[in-house]
Structure 1
Amino acid sequence: MDALLAAPEDGAGWVALLKWLWWFVSLRFLLALLAGYAIQRLVMPRHRWVFLPIAAAISVTLALAFPQTSPDETLDRTLRVWAIIAAGQVTGLAACLWRDAISIGLTALAMGLVLALTPRRAQRGIVHLLQLLVLLLCALVGIDLAYQLATGQPGSLRVLLFAVLNAKELAPLVASETTPFRVLAIAGGILVAAAWAWRQRALASTPLFGGPRVFLGGAVALALSLAIVLPTPAHGVLPLLRHTEGTLITLAMTAAPTLAHDVQVKVAQEFERTHKPRWHSAHMALKETEKTNRRNVVIVMLESVRAESTTLHMPALQTTPFLSNLANKSLVVEDMTAVIPRTAAAWMAVLGGQYPLANEGTQSWAKENHKQPRIRSLPSVLRDAGYATSFFTPTDLRFQNDLDVIDTFNFELIQTEQELAHPEAERVTYFGIADEWMVQPILDWTAAQSRAKRPFFTAIMTNVGHHNFETPSTWLKIRFEGVSNPKLEAYYNCLRYIDGVLSTLIEGYRRLGVLDDTILIIVGDHGQMFDEHGARQIHNAIYQEGLHVPALIYAPGMALQPGTVRGPRQQIDILPTIVELLGYRVEGAELPGQSLLHAVDASRKLFYTSSIDWSFLSARRGQRKYIYSFDRQPMEVFDLDKDPKELVALADIDAQELASTKQDMLEWRMHAELSMLARPSDGADPLSPWLRQ
């Protein structure tokens, strides 16, 4: 329905919606019931039972007037087809509403028990509070529906809580996804509940106990509540599966993760035994060797660029022709993945070399890190080695904890939208201006370092490519043949724009004469979803579309043979790769990544998490990938070698394999958190014992 309403503004969307709704037999039943009731009240007001046969007659009339068979079919066949379709749709509707009926029963029973235990003099106030609770529950259900319409993903209480706590930062994103139908989804239930509360405003002063209706209502509520032990009704339509659980019941199940106590104990015991977290960098430093060669380093992180949408990985798709041409002279990482589909997480993985935390964990880390630094980063240690360091992005970083994360890396210069803004600069996305406006400031800064004969390290983060997929108004968009999704076509044009900015930037480095002395790494921060697996956002989905990103190393002045880096790789591998290319050795740290210049085990383990904490975890063992939803649904397992798009989950996976993988994911998640939050008791003494937080 939401997609139909996105049609042109001439009303075609509403017409298409009405036509689509008309073919739902269950809605015709509702229309027939309402019409039958109205006719009965007008014509035979004393015979209430008459409205049922009237409604049945109207239903049959509608079936014959709008048949779902060809016009030349017999009357018998037309009615049989209608009956089969009607039975299927009504059954599906019942499956989706069954658990919601249980939710209503549980709520009614709980409210009844509260009122039963409330002194009579306080019942008036309690009734008003319960009516307000009904309004809030209706709002919650509406928000959950609007969220699913916008993202294609099920909501959770953690997602909603995160949105409430970060309402100011998320307001531009929410505004860009607001449509009349989504507003109606939220407001409709609230208005109905408010109308009920107004209609029943005398309820607060009405005796609440006694009479057969009260006992009958209590019995019905109890029966519905007991029905929660029944299995979830089966339904063959995948997008409806989540609704068969019941919205409120499903949201309640997402309130807390199903953490195994023994996993927590195991991680704590390892920390007590080693006196350090598994990975750490609070005392990281670079040690010169006989191979040390202080070349410049530039890392370009591409906003929301997924591998499968680039010419580099899909030669027939002309979105990034420059990047593809550059790849012919570079080391191309075939299977590079993000750890978390979140930009700040990519910064931590790429620049910090550490497993990043999800949004909530990053907030806790940022607060603790201000008290005492927990990590050192690549720009920090290179600055110690005499490098000039800088970070450029045309984005406004006043979002969540982005500035806290960037500040941790100890760049000598940080330039964001606030510093790069120009009177003529167009604000392309709700996060910032176009990428082209940072190119000249980058080159000006680079020229200054070149004149000062200082090696430099620059990290660059693009902006265009982020949702809502807009390019500058002066940029000439093109049509992509065979692409019917307008959002996807807009995204492809964003990639073309970014590709042009990359070309301009690298040509600028060439004109300055620094390119042959520079190691250039280009990598996506995360991918993007366009209805794959029913998702249109990446923050709470960890399929390959959101994780697999392009990556290459271009170092024209080094004896680095062009080719392909194979095997499972991750953004945490970039820091040790740069250190090796520069000929340094890392001391005082334990990092999880492995240099891209060396082969890795084909069965290497990689781990991922969604950006909303405790929503999803994922693991890879070679080409076998697991997605764990904290037991809200069965674990999904895919063979990426045979099924790279994760279309068909493997069946009959050994239960011990699933249990072992779940244990590995939970252990990794807790070790990653401990590694980011633990700190040495004496920050200046590498031998001092570590504290857990």
Structure 2
Amino acid sequence: MGRNAHWSCRLSFLLHSSDLNYQREEHRLEKEPVKAPHTESEPKPRRTTWRSRLPNQPPTGIWLFTLLAPLFLLCISLKVFRIAAHPTDFGTSDSLFFVLPDLLFQAGLLSLGLGLMGTARVGWARHLVLLALQLVALAVATIEMLATAYLHATGFTLDYSITAFALSRLDETWTVAASEVQTVHVWFFAVSLIVLAVGPWLAVWKTTRHPTEPSGPAGKLLWAALLVALSTALFAISLLPTSKETGRAFVRPAPLHLALGMLEKHEVLPQPGEQTASSKASVAARPSGPDRIYRDDPESPLPNVVLIILESTRADSLTPYNPGLDTTPFLAKIAEKSTLVDRAYAVVPHTSKSLVSILCGIEPRLSLAVPEARKGGMPGKCLAKLLGEMGYTTAYFQTPKKSFERRSRLVDNMGYEHFLSGDMVDVTGFSKVNYFGYEDAVMLEPSRAWLEEHAKERLFVTYLTNIQHHPYGLPKSHAEVDYRPFGAKTDGHNRYLNTVNYGDSFIEKIVDQYKELGLYENTVFVITSDHGEGFREHGQGQHDDVVFEEGLRIPWLIYKPSDPQPRRITQPASTLDVAPTVLDILGFRFDADSYPGGSILGDLGDRVLHASCYRRSQCLVGIYGHEKLIYYFDDRPPHLFDLAADPGEKTNLAEQNPAKVAARIEELRSWSRAVHELHRPFAKKSLRAAIQKKKPSPENKQHVFFGDALEMVGFDYPKGKGLKKGGGGKVRAGRKLVINYYLRAMRELSDDYRLVLVGTGENSTKNLDHIPVRGLHPFSDWKTTEYVRDSHRFNVPYSWRDKRINFCLKVVHATEGTLPVTGDISPRDGCVPITSMKVKPRKQH
């Protein structure tokens, strides 16, 4: 018992001591935090820095909230702004209906974010997911802001076709977009993107350090997959709603509409080689113009023809069409002695497209691009070409810069001998009025100088103005008139009417030149416009896709001083009628079916006038007497108007006439396919003409090799005054030269090669670099068994002051540089000499 009692006492003492030690330690810990023991296997504690505050695994809730909450507020606010800016007064229920797809889209983004985070919960995978989500958010915000800005400027929804087209031609389109940008827009855009880029990381940095456990959806991969599937379903549902008033594009979330545009294709045009049963029966060949014209009395005198095309000028902005608006007193004066067309319409409300219909009498290709500016892209002969063959000297003057949409090449394809644009003359003392150039007065002195030089010749001259184009800038020398009491709706509309007034004075000064040079009495003046201009009458601004009356209806009058007889044409006319009417006035004859239009001087009978939006497959228009049908494909229901009873196009009669609308829609689709068929063969024809199996025999034989890539057998000059066989000759500054080269690929080539024509003088150099055969035949398509004829069109600069210009040709690779040259001739720095010519300077006006 003694020993047992002893051990019992010892055990009680130890337990009591342990309790006392525990109590002391607990008391000490209450005063001092416990420090974790440091071992060799653990890293030493680091000093806290800003970088160490960033968590390895950012909390899902905080990060996603600070990313998606600002994005949600931004997108919904922009959608509400777009709804409020629409001309239709939507009620509360309709407005909520329009916002619903965007709410579903935002819910889809949240579901997508949670699902992706659930698939990658640790390490670098999580950071890559976060980066991807942030990039998606920035892209969504950018698209939403751009879509809102585009809608505010034009009244149209932003889609893939116009976006891709603008990005492919940023050198041309950025100035147009920049004209609408204000400082507040830049700040709003920058602040929005900065909040989305910095906000989530800043919030995480302020709220947490390195958590011991990764955060995020607590479920497994199955739940993450379900969340991603849910986001896909929400995205798809957000695309379903539509509206009769606005169409699907307006209701859809802007990012999804833009993305879906890459996949959607309206089935209006058959694919190459494809014909549907309906198209076989309904598509008729569209005429491409006459190949030749003739006169019954070739010896009778012919007058000069002056064709003045006013930029963006709608019919009701001119005094002859709107007597209560005193914008064009000169035109009102000569209209009393002219043939005036009451209802004239543009085919496509875009300048380059309208130039084709006016000056060539054929429908332009219904696409954003202008293939008529390429070699082989013009299906028929234009007025300048036809009249040039009959002895006329032809010239084209335009105030806008020549580079936009390859205008100089387009005019050359039309057959004009002389081209001059506002950026080719001295603009000192003149005001820049828009992103295309200066006021129209810059062309007055060049016009006079050319007329003095060619006054004894038979002339066909075309003028295209500039000042009436958006944003309607006025020179300081022109006093602004307040047209608000006479119908101007906004400040922009008032500025526009002032530019129309300026255009009237420009026309008067051009006519005065012909009077002063003794050409007036023997000249026919044809005055029209390329298209109209919208000022939100139907919620749409400017012109490209404005196919209501304000966008399509244009002025057209014909003034013949030697026979000042007033005449009113009441039947509807089109820009397609200008070319055959001019030939009719001059007494030329041609095959009756060679033009899609006809002369307004005769009876054209009951016919359909067709038109199209600028954007492909956006809309088609048919004018049937006083009835007008606008077909929007499957975006929204068609619109049918009775223009006699409803000139403002306010009442849609389509639902009351379903059978009539269906028949006319099929007729419009048939016309669209026929126009497509008209233009399709000419690119192939141009390419076939440039390729031959047999070795060519050019006028100037020159057998040289560019490295092991290309063989050149020679060159020739198919066009250009002053050129001599074998080289040499002289050229005037401002004139155009065309040089053909005959080449063969020696092996398979890539598209990294470029042909470069170099023109050098004592103090000047100009390089031309292009893809062969006007872009139709890149080097990757070349075969070693074929010879290719390629061409360079070289415009000797108007300001060239050197006495000579020396031409040489070289081949440049993107990474290897200029290829070495061997063969019959000694190159200069890898550049094969072509010819050397004297340059006759032209006086610059």
Largest Rg, 1 or 2: 2
Residue pair 1:106, 1:221 contacting (<8 A) in 2 also:
no
Could you tell me how far 1:186 is from its partner in structure 2? Answer: 4.1
- Check if 1:509 corresponds to 2:511: no
1:484-540 alpha-carbon deviations (Å, 9 max, x no partner): 511111111111111111112112212222222111100011111112111222112
For 2:496, the equivalent position in structure 1 comes to 491
Structural mapping, 1:473-488, within 5 Å? 473-482=476-485, 483-488=488-493
1:50-93 alpha-carbon deviations (Å, 9 max, x no partner): xxxxxxxxxxxxxxxxxxxxxxxxxxxxxxxxxxxxxx987566
What SS does the aligned partner of 2:294 have? strand
Instruction: Choose the corresponding residue for 2:579, options 564, 572, 575.
Output: 575
- Check if 1:317 corresponds to 2:322: no
1:306-350 alpha-carbon deviations (Å, 9 max, x no partner): 101110111010001110111110000111111111111121011
Query: Quick one: structure 1 residues 235 and 682, their matched pair in 2 at CA, closer, same or farther if it must change by over 3 Å?
Result: closer
Identify, as 1 or 2, the structure richer in helix. Answer: 1
For 2:106, the equivalent position in structure 1 comes to 104
For 2:296, the equivalent position in structure 1 comes to 289
For 2:391, the equivalent position in structure 1 comes to 386
Aligned partner of 2:458: which letter? Answer: P
Residue pair 1:96, 1:246 contacting (<8 A) in 2 also:
no
Structural mapping, 1:125-204, within 5 Å? 125-183=128-186, 186-187=189-190, 189-195=192-198, 197-198=200-201
Task: Quote the Cα distance in structure 2 between the aligned partners of 1:682 and 1:340.
Answer: 25
For 1:547, the equivalent position in structure 2 comes to 552
Identify, as 1 or 2, the structure richer in strand. Answer: 2
Task: Quote the Cα distance in structure 2 between the aligned partners of 1:336 and 1:581.
Answer: 18
For 1:471, the equivalent position in structure 2 comes to 474
Residue pair 1:365, 1:677 contacting (<8 A) in 2 also:
no
Once the two structures are overlaid, the 10-residue window that deviates more, 336-345 or 256-265, is: 256-265
- Check if 1:349 corresponds to 2:357: yes
How many matched pairs? 591
Could you tell me how far 1:231 is from its partner in structure 2? Answer: 10
Task: Quote the Cα distance in structure 2 between the aligned partners of 1:589 and 1:110.
Answer: 60
What SS does the aligned partner of 1:370 have? coil
What SS does the aligned partner of 2:404 have? coil
Structural mapping, 1:350-499, within 5 Å? 350-358=358-366, 360-362=368-370, 364-366=371-373, 369-370=374-375, 374-451=379-456, 454-482=457-485, 483-499=488-504
Task: Quote the Cα distance in structure 1 between the aligned partners of 2:243 and 2:308.
Answer: 46
For 1:31, the equivalent position in structure 2 comes to none
Query: Quick one: structure 1 residues 578 and 301, their matched pair in 2 at CA, closer, same or farther if it must change by over 3 Å?
Result: same
1:186-242 alpha-carbon deviations (Å, 9 max, x no partner): 445534432455358799995655349995995698389369559977999x78996
Once the two structures are overlaid, the 10-residue window that deviates more, 221-230 or 177-186, is: 221-230
Task: Quote the Cα distance in structure 2 between the aligned partners of 1:96 and 1:275.
Answer: 39
Task: Quote the Cα distance in structure 1 between the aligned partners of 2:383 and 2:428.
Answer: 34
For 1:674, the equivalent position in structure 2 comes to 677
1:582-623 alpha-carbon deviations (Å, 9 max, x no partner): 111235983211111112234x21111122222222222222
1:102-142 alpha-carbon deviations (Å, 9 max, x no partner): 22344455666777788987554344223212211221111
For 2:785, the equivalent position in structure 1 comes to none
Residue pair 1:528, 1:545 contacting (<8 A) in 2 also:
yes
Percent identity between the two aligned chains: 24
Residue pair 1:568, 1:600 contacting (<8 A) in 2 also:
no
Could you tell me how far 1:247 is from its partner in structure 2? Answer: 2.8
For 2:789, the equivalent position in structure 1 comes to none
Task: Quote the Cα distance in structure 2 between the aligned partners of 1:141 and 1:152.
Answer: 15
Residue pair 2:381, 2:414 contacting (<8 A) in 1 also:
yes
Residue pair 1:293, 1:583 contacting (<8 A) in 2 also:
no
For 2:801, the equivalent position in structure 1 comes to none
Residue pair 2:121, 2:214 contacting (<8 A) in 1 also:
no
Could you tell me how far 1:271 is from its partner in structure 2? Answer: 10
What SS does the aligned partner of 1:391 have? strand
For 2:605, the equivalent position in structure 1 comes to 601
Residue pair 1:263, 1:667 contacting (<8 A) in 2 also:
no
Aligned partner of 1:676: which letter? Answer: H
What SS does the aligned partner of 2:590 have? strand
What SS does the aligned partner of 1:286 have? coil
Point out where structure 2 has 5 or more consecutive residues left out of the alignment: 1-89, 690-775, 777-845
For 2:55, the equivalent position in structure 1 comes to none
Task: Quote the Cα distance in structure 1 between the aligned partners of 2:315 and 2:231.
Answer: 52
Could you tell me how far 1:642 is from its partner in structure 2? Answer: 1.2
Point out where structure 1 has 5 or more consecutive residues left out of the alignment: 1-87, 687-692
Residue pair 2:269, 2:676 contacting (<8 A) in 1 also:
no
Aligned partner of 2:578: which letter? Answer: I
What SS does the aligned partner of 1:552 have? strand
Query: Quick one: structure 1 residues 548 and 266, their matched pair in 2 at CA, closer, same or farther if it must change by over 3 Å?
Result: farther
Once the two structures are overlaid, the 10-residue window that deviates more, 404-413 or 573-582, is: 404-413
Task: Quote the Cα distance in structure 2 between the aligned partners of 1:635 and 1:598.
Answer: 33
Query: Quick one: structure 1 residues 675 and 197, their matched pair in 2 at CA, closer, same or farther if it must change by over 3 Å?
Result: farther
Task: Quote the Cα distance in structure 1 between the aligned partners of 2:156 and 2:638.
Answer: 17
**RMSD in angstroms over aligned alpha carbons?**
3.9
For 2:568, the equivalent position in structure 1 comes to 564
Instruction: Choose the corresponding residue for 2:253, options 231, 242, 246.
Output: 246
Structural mapping, 1:587-626, within 5 Å? 590-602=594-606, 604-626=607-629
Could you tell me how far 1:441 is from its partner in structure 2? Answer: 2.4
Once the two structures are overlaid, the 10-residue window that deviates more, 621-630 or 92-101, is: 92-101
Query: Quick one: structure 1 residues 461 and 226, their matched pair in 2 at CA, closer, same or farther if it must change by over 3 Å?
Result: closer
Residue pair 1:146, 1:183 contacting (<8 A) in 2 also:
no
TM-score by length of 2: 0.63
Aligned partner of 1:102: which letter? Answer: L
Query: Quick one: structure 1 residues 112 and 555, their matched pair in 2 at CA, closer, same or farther if it must change by over 3 Å?
Result: same
